[in-house]
Structure 1
Amino acid sequence: MTDLDLAAVRAFVAVVDEGQFGLAAGVLGISQQAVSKRIARLEGQLGIALFDRIPTGAEPTAAAVRFLTHARALLALADEAVATASAHPGPLRVAVLGERAAEMRAMRFYLARDPGADIEMVLSNAYVTSRDALLSGRADIAFARAHGGPRPLPAHIAALPAYLDVLHLLVGRDHPWAGREAVPLAELAGETVWVPGAAVPSEWADFYDSLSRFSGVIIDRTPRSELFPDADRGPAPIEALLDHIAGSATLSTFNGDGFELPWHPHIRRVRVVDPTPAYPHALLWDKTDPHPGLAALIAHFRDGYNRDAARGCWMPAPDRALFAR
């Protein structure tokens, strides 16, 4: 039987989350060389290679992705054991989709009004969604769609509507829709809209599948890296994406009103109407979690949900049961 080194497991998860050995070292507060040694030790214990080196950092191997869920569960159990022994719950860990996402802006609003709240933000990426972070024990509460995705949520996970993010289209100034204030959803039937994030099996990919079936819009799932692979050596990913759309007369993509975009002089925003698609961000938490910080955050979003937006919006039927009641 192999006794896994928890420090090595923690280094492995940090490299997956950060995408680079150097960034993982900063998160862990150790040297990059120490991270490399821990990964090598873990690879020796498991008898597998965990990462492939790529120009932008490190990418988990197929074996590493299979090990990842177990690694997170192991660390969560260890952290829970330490917290239980010390009788201190630690910060409330809140999982969000990303720094620019609507839920991050909503959390900034909350923290500005309760600066004493002990909260730690957990950011998602292609390998761990907000729902995964919650289910693996990496987060106490998560902003995520309550339906769809590779597997349904277990019965012990509770959900309430947190924020309905109305979608619009982003196009370049030479796109045929650039001069229009709005496009009816019915007009998108047969049109192709690029949604690179939908390439990852997830609850948001399921959302765009549902939108496609409802409206007839064709979702292009081509990952951003395949369309312009050299972008990571130029501007930051979001700026590179906007440059790509701005320079095209045919590309369009969906974007949420609550998502923070950098300004770009050649990007145009076009409303989608009759009906307007909206992405349903729910607040998810484990009903058995005793963390004392949960109640206040749940109450805040229960009271602040923008329910009025649901009347003129389209969302998948399972979400409507939660968001429009």
Structure 2
Amino acid sequence: MIRPDLDLAAVRGFLAVAEHGQLTLAAGELGISQQAVSKRIAKLEAVLGISLFERTRTGVLPTAAGARFLPRARALLALADETVAAVRAFPRPLRVAVLGERQAAVRSLRFFLDRHPGAETEIVVGDAVVTSRDALLSERADAAFARAHGGPRPLPAHIAAAPALLEPLHLLVGRRHPLAGRNAVPLAELAGTSVWVPGAAVPSEWADFYRDLGDFANIAIDTARPEPGSGIGRMIERIAASDALCTFNGDDFDTPYHPELRRVRVVDPAPAYPHALLWDAEDPHPDLTELLAHCRAHYNADTAASCWLPEPDRPLFVG
């Protein structure tokens, strides 16, 4: 049996398109032309014998096969990067894991890198299958932005945590939703309603966060998943077109634009997702010091008093 040889450049092209949902943005990230990105995807599809993307009105979305390939592509590239770093003569960069490129932690990390141009730092992007915490525990990363509590497995005692960012949540609704004309809604007013959070279907620290929020505010967290391979773009389209669907969204999350989408702040208290910086206290990377100092200096502790947090997170973020 002849096994297909995967071109890592083509795999990087696939990953960039999957993350951005548009060939133009992927080309900008890779520093190549849109035509070159298309050629890489076509080459990869030819090798695999499958279609990886389908076109939509706003860009492209992974097919079901593309969605299955996505976490494996990330793992493959991470292993390739680790292999290169292992044989280099100079020390490897600080590897910092984030859950996804749209997450608030990425914006905080890029803020740090813009002000520390000499920092040798690599961003390791995880997902629901291989999370940022998994990357840290498997030693694929030296630090991770993630929640310090919850999830199917507790963190080992040697993993240290520092508060990095409290991210208040708002509601995303379509313009025909009953809340669309509101600037803000008290959390208590959402009691008895249903909020669609399909990502909470995965056993994880964020699923536990939404479970605790639902219990606290008497909100039904709907974890029904969208159709396979639909991605965040399709989810946004469904909410924008609906007069009933709504979802929680972080204030600093990079949400795809849609003209029919409306944002409604949740207040009194504002539920906030607690992003911590995690690292191995027994074997810290020597370049972690500056990033840790950055997180401690810029953590928005002044907002903590007006936010709702799960009880396990309060000592780290409020105490």
TM-score bracket relative to the smaller structure: 0.7 to 0.9
- For 1:55 and 1:81, the matched residues in 2 are separated by 34
CA 1:242–1:155: 2 relative to 1, 3 Å? same
| CA apart distance, 1:74 | 9.5
- For 2:250 and 2:153, the matched residues in 1 are separated by 24
| Superposed structure 1 runs of 4+ greater than 6 Å apart | 33-36, 71-81
Amino acid at match of 1:187: E
| CA apart distance, 1:238 | 3.0
Counterpart position of 1:307: 301
Q: Is the 8 A contact 2:78 2:124 kept in 1?
A: no
Counterpart position of 2:66: 57
- For 2:137 and 2:313, the matched residues in 1 are separated by 20
Give deviations 1:225-280, integer Å, cap 9, x for gaps: 26xx6xx4xxxx33322211010000000001111223322111111111110000
Return 128-137 or 238-247, whichever deviates more: 238-247
Structure 1, unaligned runs of 5 or more: 1-7, 37-53
CA RMSD across the alignment: 3.4
Structure 2, unaligned runs of 5 or more: 18-25, 27-36, 49-62
Amino acid at match of 2:234: A
Counterpart position of 2:51: none
| CA apart distance, 1:296 | 0.7
Q: Is the aligned partner of 1:283 residue 2:266?
A: no
Q: Is the aligned partner of 1:105 residue 2:107?
A: yes
- For 1:239 and 1:203, the matched residues in 2 are separated by 24
Counterpart position of 2:189: 187
| CA apart distance, 1:219 | 0.3
Return 288-297 or 93-102, whichever deviates more: 288-297
**Residue 225 of structure 1 aligns to a residue in which SS?**
coil
CA 1:153–1:35: 2 relative to 1, 3 Å? farther
Aligned pairs (5 A) from 1:11-90? 18=15, 32=44, 55-57=64-66, 59=68, 82=87, 86=89, 88-90=90-92
CA 1:292–1:115: 2 relative to 1, 3 Å? same
Amino acid at match of 2:149: H
Aligned pairs (5 A) from 1:1-325? 18=15, 32=44, 55-57=64-66, 59=68, 82=87, 86=89, 88-225=90-227, 232=230, 237-325=231-319
Amino acid at match of 1:316: P
CA 1:72–1:18: 2 relative to 1, 3 Å? closer
Amino acid at match of 1:304: H
Give deviations 1:24-55, integer Å, cap 9, x for gaps: xx9xx9x859987xxxxxxxxxxxxxxxxx64
- For 1:103 and 1:89, the matched residues in 2 are separated by 25
- For 2:174 and 2:104, the matched residues in 1 are separated by 23
- For 1:133 and 1:146, the matched residues in 2 are separated by 14
Q: Is the 8 A contact 1:72 1:138 kept in 2?
A: no
**Residue 205 of structure 1 aligns to a residue in which SS?**
helix
Give deviations 1:154-187, integer Å, cap 9, x for gaps: 0110000000000010100000111112111112
**Residue 59 of structure 1 aligns to a residue in which SS?**
helix
- For 1:80 and 1:111, the matched residues in 2 are separated by 20
**Residue 278 of structure 2 aligns to a residue in which SS?**
strand
Count of residues paired in the alignment: 276
| CA apart distance, 1:76 | 10
Amino acid at match of 1:255: N
**Residue 122 of structure 1 aligns to a residue in which SS?**
strand
**TM-score, with length taken from structure 1:** 0.74
Return 238-247 or 171-180, whichever deviates more: 238-247
Amino acid at match of 1:192: S
CA 1:126–1:290: 2 relative to 1, 3 Å? closer
- For 2:212 and 2:199, the matched residues in 1 are separated by 15
**TM-score, with length taken from structure 2:** 0.76
- For 1:19 and 1:260, the matched residues in 2 are separated by 15
**Residue 164 of structure 2 aligns to a residue in which SS?**
strand
Amino acid at match of 2:66: G
CA 1:77–1:120: 2 relative to 1, 3 Å? closer
Give deviations 1:88-129, integer Å, cap 9, x for gaps: 331111111211111111111111111121111111112111
Amino acid at match of 2:244: T
**Residue 207 of structure 2 aligns to a residue in which SS?**
helix
